[in-house]
Chain A
Amino acid sequence: MHIPDGFLDPKVWAGAYAVSAGALAAAVARTGKVLEQRQVPTLGVMAAFIFAAQMVNFPVAGGTSGHLLGGALAAVLLGPWSAGLILTTVLVIQMLFFYDGGVTALGANVLNMAVIAPWVAYGVYRAFNPLVKGPVGRNAAIFVAAWLSVVAAALACSLEIALSGTVPLKVVLPAMLGWHAIIGLGEGLLTVVAVAYVARLWGLELPERKLTVGGQPQ
C-alpha cells in the first residue's frame, strides 16, 4: 500500500506530513519515557522482521498480491507507540534505499501504516480481548484487529488519493476496500501465527501484559 510520488497533491501530502510528524513526536516522547535500554534490541528485531515479511508478497486473487503490513503485529506485541516508531523506521528505509513509497508521500504512508494501522489494531484488540475467552477467542480478536488495521489503512489511503483530486472517492474507495478486505485476511492469519510464535518464544500467555511498551505501562 506504499503510495508513490505523483498520486498526492501538495496540500494532501504536506498535511499528512504534519499529522504524522505530530504523531511521531508523541510516540518519541512516550516511548522515551517508558522504554528501557534492554527493550531496544526487541524493537530492532521486530522492525527487521516486518521489513523482511513485507518483501514476501502472497498472491490473493485475480493477479493481485498482498503482503504483511505488520502494524497489528507490532501493536499487539509492543504497543501502538513503539509500533509507530518501528513501522516508520521500516518505511523510511524502504523509501531511501528501495524507493518503495514516494518521498512526498512518506508522510501519508507513515500516517496510514505507522499510525492508523497500529492504533486501529490496538484499539480493536484491547476492546475485544476482554470479551473473548481462551486462546481461540484471543486469536479471533487478533485476527479481527489485524484485518481492520489493513482496511482502515486502505480507507485512509483512498481518502488521501481522492482529496488530491487524483480520482473520485466513489471510484477509488470501493476498489481499495475490496482488495484490502481480501489482503487483510492474509494479514489476520499471519499476525495470529506470528503472535502465537512470539508468545511461545517468550513463554508468556499474554505477552502484551508484560511487554507492551508505550501502550499500557505496568
Chain B
Amino acid sequence: MNNKNLLWGILLALAIAAFLSPFASPSPDGLERVAEDKGFLHLAEGKELLRAWMPDYIFPGVASEGLATALAGVVGTVLVFAAMYLLGRVLVRSKDNAGTRQTRCS
C-alpha cells in the first residue's frame, strides 16, 4: 500500500466519520434491542464505571447534535489511527532487533 492509497484511506475514514455518522440510524443495535425485549437492559443502568470524554459519540459542549456527532467521529478516527500506528511501531520495532529489515533503532 503506497502513501497515496493510505492518504485516500484515511480521508475516506474521516469523511465517513464526519459526513455519514450524523445520519446513522438512532435505533438500538441488535444486542440493545434484545436486552430491551428480554428485560435486562436496566442491568446496565447506573453501572457506569468511567466518565468518558464523549459518551454516546457526542462531542461535549456543541449545541448541534449532528455537528457534535461528526466532531466525535473525526476525533475518534484520529485517535484510533494514532493508537494503532503507535502500537504497530512498538510491536514491529521489537522485532527489528533480529535484524531482518531496515531499522531506525538498532
A59 to B28 CA separation, bound complex (whole angstroms) = 9
B29: chain A residues at CB < 8 Å are 1, 57, 64-67, 183
Q: B20 at interface (Cβ–Cβ under 8 A)?
A: yes
B40: chain A residues at CB < 8 Å are 7, 161, 166-167
| Partner pick for B25 among A7, A39, A65, CB 8 A cutoff | A65
Q: B76 at interface (Cβ–Cβ under 8 A)?
A: yes
Q: A124 at interface (Cβ–Cβ under 8 A)?
A: no
Q: B31 at interface (Cβ–Cβ under 8 A)?
A: yes
A65 to B95 CA separation, bound complex (whole angstroms) = 42
Q: A48 at interface (Cβ–Cβ under 8 A)?
A: yes
B63: chain A residues at CB < 8 Å are none
Number of A-B contacts (CB under 8 A): 222
Whether A2 contacts B31 by the Cβ 8 Å rule is yes
Q: A15 at interface (Cβ–Cβ under 8 A)?
A: no
Whether A175 contacts B34 by the Cβ 8 Å rule is yes
Q: A92 at interface (Cβ–Cβ under 8 A)?
A: yes
Whether B48 contacts A99 by the Cβ 8 Å rule is yes
Interface segment among A82-90, A114-122, A134-142: the answer is: A82-90
Q: B30 at interface (Cβ–Cβ under 8 A)?
A: yes
A45 to B12 CA separation, bound complex (whole angstroms) = 10
Q: What does DSSP make chain B's interface, helix, strand, loop or mixed?
A: helix
A175: chain B residues at CB < 8 Å are 34, 37-38
B10 to chain A, nearest CB (A): 5
A66: chain B residues at CB < 8 Å are 29-30
**Complex interface residues of chain A between 130 and 161 (CB less than 8 A to chain B):** 154, 157, 161
A118 to chain B, nearest CB (A): 15
Q: A193 at interface (Cβ–Cβ under 8 A)?
A: no
Scan B11-54; emit 1 where CB is below 8 A from any A CB, else 0.
01110110011011111111101110111100111011111111
B102 to chain A, nearest CB (A): 7
Closest 8 CB pairs of A and B: A40-B88, A6-B47, A99-B52, A65-B25, A47-B84, A44-B85, A179-B30, A45-B9
Binding site for B on A (CB under 8 A): 1-7, 28, 31-33, 35-37, 39-53, 55-59, 63-67, 85-86, 89-90, 92-100, 102-104, 154, 157, 161, 166-167, 171-172, 175-176, 179-180, 183, 201-202, 211
28 contacts between A and B (CB under 8 A): A1-B30, A32-B94, A33-B95, A37-B101, A40-B92, A41-B6, A45-B10, A46-B9, A48-B13, A48-B14, A52-B17, A52-B21, A52-B77, A55-B21, A56-B23, A57-B26, A58-B24, A59-B25, A59-B27, A65-B26, A65-B28, A85-B84, A85-B87, A85-B91, A97-B75, A98-B52, A98-B76, A167-B38
